[in-house]
Amino acid sequence: MTEAIATLKARKPRMSAEGRLLHMTALVVPLVGLAIFFLYPLAIIVQRSFVQRDGALGLGNYRDVFGMGHIGRVVQNSLVMSGLTTLICVVLGFAIAYALQRTRLPYRRLISVALLLPLLAPSLVQALGLIFLFGRNGLISQATGWNLQIYGLWGLVISNTMYALPQAVMIIQAALRHSDSRQYDAAMVLGASPWRQFVDITLPKARFGLLSAGFVCFTVTITDFGNAAVIGGNYRVLATEIYAQVVGQMNFNMGAVVGIFLLIPTLLAFYLEKVAARRETGGGSESAVPVTPTRSAARDLPLGLVAFAAALFIVAVVGTVVYASFVSLWPYRLDLTLRNYNITAQGGYAPLWTSLVVSAQAAVIGTALLFALVVAQRRLTGGAAKAVYLLAIVPVGVPGLVLGLSYVLSFNVAHPLLGMVYGTTFLIALCNFYHYHSQGFLTMVTGIRTVPPALEETVTCMGGSSLHGMRDAILPVMLPTLVAVFFFLFMRSMVTLSAVIFLITPRLSVGAVSVLRLDQAGFTTQAAAFSVCIMGVVLAAMGLMKLALHLLSRRPEAASSARKLEVTD
């Protein structure tokens, strides 16, 4: 068998006509989606950035932006803030992902659940939670009399770390999920210490995942506006600048220029792609024997401390929000009440159900398109592979505010086809999906790198079609990653705000907007209550979906996939 595979590997994979068709479809459909719902809106923003005040085309806006006295400081602030956040997230994210994937730390599940919380709490409310806890009149200041200073760089780094860390862990986990214990066995026989094994085997294999995670952390925090607005204090960043230009001064075209600035960090993707294209040594071998996590006190104790400390911090912040949602007047009257759950904002709880519809669409469409794209991209070589890769990664550099407005500019048109989706849940779902496209893509790419190519070729060779190859070889191995991406898209779509605010209509609003409205109108505890409802609904929906998945995997035709899953997981 091994020999057969070895010869197969040597030969160039031949594709049947059906295989080619499948491959083309898997490639073209996601690319068309990207072209219409990402590239086209982006092109409109680029065009806007060249429209000067006098209406002529030119570089005037760019000159104006460079001419702003404070722009240098703002750029520097953004770089420092995102750099620090990225460093913390990658180090912490790796420790946590390692603890989850490679150790037998007790109660690992709790850490996983805690890490979901920042993804499913609206960032506005999470920032409020931080203020309720660490603010000048927060619980800790009140209890200790300390004068904590949460507003500014550190508050921003903490809140952005909460936002980016779960995304980092998701990607790094995909990198650590599959491993070959034979390499570790060999190293042990050769007398390598556990530390050497870690440095020489584990780290190099996780390198791509770490780089991807760092890239994502940097770009999502440099473009994020929500935390900067609530907790950033006087620490101005580029995302605040876009808001000031577009929303504060109704200066679209200047905002577009700053938005394009924010695309610069995505150029790092070129480097990332180079690493991705490099073949991993000994990675993803078809006969890999998965590593069985062992116990090691010297390693697990510090790892466990770090992971649980991070989880505890997150739980404390979100827990404060939950607590505040039951309090009659935060922080002055702390008697418990259910009154905050009687939502008085426009539409009551109806927007919450709309959010569910939107999020389900975003998650289903998104996961399918991303999977197809990742599988198809894997077969490409050279320039084409590079181009697809870069295109899939750029969306992360576009701030939500810019994306939302670009959608209005692109799809609020009289054109019968393009204009048809404006004002629908479908468009909001697509906007949310493309907003988080890159994170999903990078997670899947990281995951699929560990699928041995020979595996699918074997299936094809043994008489199965490419479709079978996908179903029997790739899908089972990828399933945990697919589920992770599905839930990621679902959760973010439930709470993301900055783009959606421009796409709601009088009859179609979403939960995150209700939270914003309640907070703006001073109903802070009601805003917290609404967020708790969102979190509850998401957790319940995820529980149901996990249950369905579990039941599905026990059906006979899926049993083989389930078995494979157990082996590799």
Q: Binding residues for other proteins, per CB under 8 A? A: 68-70, 131-132, 135-137, 151, 228-230, 233-234, 236, 240, 243-244, 246-250, 252, 329-333, 344-348, 350-351, 353-354, 357, 405, 408-409, 412-414, 419-420, 422-426, 501-502, 504-509, 517, 519-524
Is the Cβ of residue 56 or residue 414 nearer to other proteins in the bound state? 414
Is the Cβ of residue 249 or residue 287 nearer to other proteins in the bound state? 249
Neighbours of 455 (CB within 10 A): 20
Cα of 312 vs its chain's centroid, Å: 21
Tokens of residue 472, six digits? 């029997």
Is the Cβ of residue 26 or residue 495 nearer to other proteins in the bound state? 495
Q: CA dihedral defined by 496, 217, 430, 266, rounded to 10 degrees?
A: 140
Is the Cβ of residue 12 or residue 333 nearer to other proteins in the bound state? 333
Eight-class DSSP state of 36? I
- Give the list of residues 6+ apart from residue 179 with CB closer than 8 angstroms, or none: 102, 202, 205, 288, 290, 291
Burial class (CB in 10 A: 0-12, 13-18, 19+), 106: exposed
Is the Cβ of residue 210 or residue 403 nearer to other proteins in the bound state? 403
Minimum distance from residue 542 beta carbon to other proteins (Å): 20
Minimum distance from residue 505 beta carbon to other proteins (Å): 6
Using alpha carbons, select from 328, 114, 339, 81 the residue that is nearest to residue 225: 81
Is the Cβ of residue 384 or residue 420 nearer to other proteins in the bound state? 420
Is the Cβ of residue 248 or residue 536 nearer to other proteins in the bound state? 248
Minimum distance from residue 25 beta carbon to other proteins (Å): 25
Minimum distance from residue 45 beta carbon to other proteins (Å): 11
> What is d(CA 234, CA 247) in angstroms, rounded to the nearest whole number?
18
Minimum distance from residue 553 beta carbon to other proteins (Å): 30
Is the Cβ of residue 208 or residue 225 nearer to other proteins in the bound state? 225
> What is d(CA 526, CA 324) in angstroms, rounded to the nearest whole number?
9
Is the Cβ of residue 9 or residue 236 nearer to other proteins in the bound state? 236
Angle at 300 between CA 297 and CA 304, to 5 degrees: 135
- How many Cα atoms sit within 13 Å of 277 on the Cβ side? 17
Greatest Cα pair distance, the chain, in angstroms, is: 75
Is the Cβ of residue 348 or residue 536 nearer to other proteins in the bound state? 348
Beta bridge pairs of residue 67: none
Minimum distance from residue 483 beta carbon to other proteins (Å): 26
Minimum distance from residue 145 beta carbon to other proteins (Å): 12
| Cβ atoms of 486 and 474 closer than 8 Å | no
Task: Give the containing element (helix H, strand E) for 333.
Answer: strand 333-336
> What is d(CA 377, CA 391) in angstroms, rounded to the nearest whole number?
11
> What is d(CA 564, CA 552) in angstroms, rounded to the nearest whole number?
15
Using alpha carbons, select from 115, 238, 226, 164 the residue that is nearest to residue 497: 226
| Cβ atoms of 481 and 37 closer than 8 Å | no
Name residue, tokens 């989850």.
Answer: 100
Tokens of residue 419, six digits? 């204009």
Is the Cβ of residue 300 or residue 519 nearer to other proteins in the bound state? 519
Minimum distance from residue 386 beta carbon to other proteins (Å): 33
Using alpha carbons, select from 415, 546, 412, 423 the residue that is nearest to residue 480: 546
- Give the list of residues 6+ apart from residue 83 with CB closer than 8 angstroms, or none: 218
Is the Cβ of residue 94 or residue 502 nearer to other proteins in the bound state? 502
Minimum distance from residue 59 beta carbon to other proteins (Å): 19
Is the Cβ of residue 252 or residue 441 nearer to other proteins in the bound state? 252
| Cβ atoms of 195 and 122 closer than 8 Å | no
> What is d(CA 391, CA 16) in angstroms, rounded to the nearest whole number?
28
Minimum distance from residue 548 beta carbon to other proteins (Å): 21
Cα distances (Å, whole numbers) of residue 494 to 340, 353, 429, 514, 546:
20, 10, 10, 12, 18
Minimum distance from residue 296 beta carbon to other proteins (Å): 46
> What is d(CA 349, CA 21) in angstroms, rounded to the nearest whole number?
45
Minimum distance from residue 364 beta carbon to other proteins (Å): 14
Minimum distance from residue 233 beta carbon to other proteins (Å): 5
